[in-house]
Structure 1
Amino acid sequence: MSEDRLRFPIGQFVKPEGLELEQVREWIRDIEALPGQVAEALKGASAEQLELPYRPGGWTVRQVVHHMADSHMNSFIRFKLALTEEEPTIKPYREELWAELPDTVHAPVELSLGLLASLHQRWVLLLRGMTEADLTRAFQHPDSGLVRLYEAVGMYAWHGRHHLAHIRLITG
């Protein structure tokens, strides 16, 4: 498999051109399903598999699972900021450095699986309660510019599927 295919097994995220409510509902279903899909993909994974990177120079399966929890926690907070402030500027984080911290490198994946399950339940409640106007609210990302919440829903639905595919490359 090519390096690009290993890096982006489901392809790269394509930013939506506009708000399509049915598409947003589908993305919310993806976000809702992710924790169970990750748990299923990890069922029966060996200790050795958790330490394997999904590509040369990539993160291990353990790091990917913890990264999803870190990333999705940050996203949940960004949604809440955008819903309660006018286009707040969010603080990015150095995910490549977070992936090297002791909790990411050594913690059992079950910790982040439980966190993802609870976080996604809250996040889905928030997302399903948002109005069309709420979905057009936005935050400023210092690197990417203005991000509308409907775009962020799509990005994080993709992000979950993207890393789930990485896990499945190792666990089958």
Structure 2
Amino acid sequence: MQDISHRLRNLVELLNSRLPELPETELVYTPGPGRWSKKEILGHLIDSAMNNHRRFVMSQLGPEPLLITPYEQREWVALARYQFTPNLELLNLWTLLNKQIARLLENLPSTAAAQRCEFDNGYSVTLSWLAEDYVMHLEHHVQQILNPVSY
């Protein structure tokens, strides 16, 4: 889990160093119908952090396996109105959530990594897999935020 936590902390540093440099017009630009702006992608990452923090905690509390319930991602983003939230508020919230997740992962008991988690379709994974998947998801979306917009 140390490697996963290290990657997570690096993403936090990267986005904190680069997002404030991006112009507002780029952050709010929506590339097409049904697509998110960069601010909304960051909002989606906030929702993901909240849902995954809960999963990382609950998987350790039992019973095993933890049932992973999906959430309505598009609706969460729309209801939160991330597009109209100040950039630094979004960045600060995302940063604090992920620093807490990094601390949680760094302090997991060695036995916790093997805890079973099961999706509603019956697919079963370990807590370690879930943490790795979370960071890969972040890596993908952070790159979307940092890549230049083609208007």
TM-score, normalised with respect to structure 1:
0.77
Residues of 2 paired with 1:123 and 1:114: CA distance? 14
Matching residue within 79, 89, 96 for 2:56 = 79
Q: Which residue of 2 aligns with 1:140?
A: 118
Give the SS at the match of 2:95: helix
From the superposition, tell whether residues 67 and 130 of structure 1 become closer, same or farther in structure 2 (CA, over 3 Å): same
Asked if structure 2 preserves the Cα contact closer than 8 Å seen for 1:54 and 1:166, the reply is no
Give the SS at the match of 1:31: helix
Amino acid in structure 2 at the alignment position of 1:67: H
Q: What's the Cα RMSD here?
A: 2.2
Q: Which residue of 1 aligns with 2:79?
A: 101
Asked if structure 2 preserves the Cα contact closer than 8 Å seen for 1:52 and 1:170, the reply is no
- 1:16-38 deviation line (CA, Å, top 9, x unaligned): xxxxxxxx422211112222211
- 1:137-163 deviation line (CA, Å, top 9, x unaligned): 022221462231110111111111101
Give the SS at the match of 2:108: coil
Alignment of 1:22-171 (within 5 A): 24-53=1-30, 57-86=34-63, 87-143=65-121, 145-170=123-148
- Quote the sequence identity (%): 21
Residues of 1 paired with 2:48 and 2:87: CA distance? 15
Amino acid in structure 2 at the alignment position of 1:114: N
Residues of 2 paired with 1:83 and 1:161: CA distance? 25
Residues of 2 paired with 1:150 and 1:84: CA distance? 15
- 1:108-153 deviation line (CA, Å, top 9, x unaligned): 2322211122222221121111133100102222146223111011
- 1:39-81 deviation line (CA, Å, top 9, x unaligned): 2221221111011246775310010111111101100100101
- Structure 1, unaligned stretches of length 5 or more? 1-23
Asked if structure 2 preserves the Cα contact closer than 8 Å seen for 1:91 and 1:141, the reply is yes
- 4+ residue segments displaced more than 4 Å: 54-57
Give the SS at the match of 1:89: strand
Asked if structure 1 preserves the Cα contact closer than 8 Å seen for 2:20 and 2:88, the reply is no
TM-score, normalised with respect to structure 2:
0.86
Give the SS at the match of 1:140: strand
- Structure 2, unaligned stretches of length 5 or more? none
112-121 vs 65-74, which deviates more?
Answer: 112-121
Asked if structure 2 preserves the Cα contact closer than 8 Å seen for 1:50 and 1:62, the reply is yes
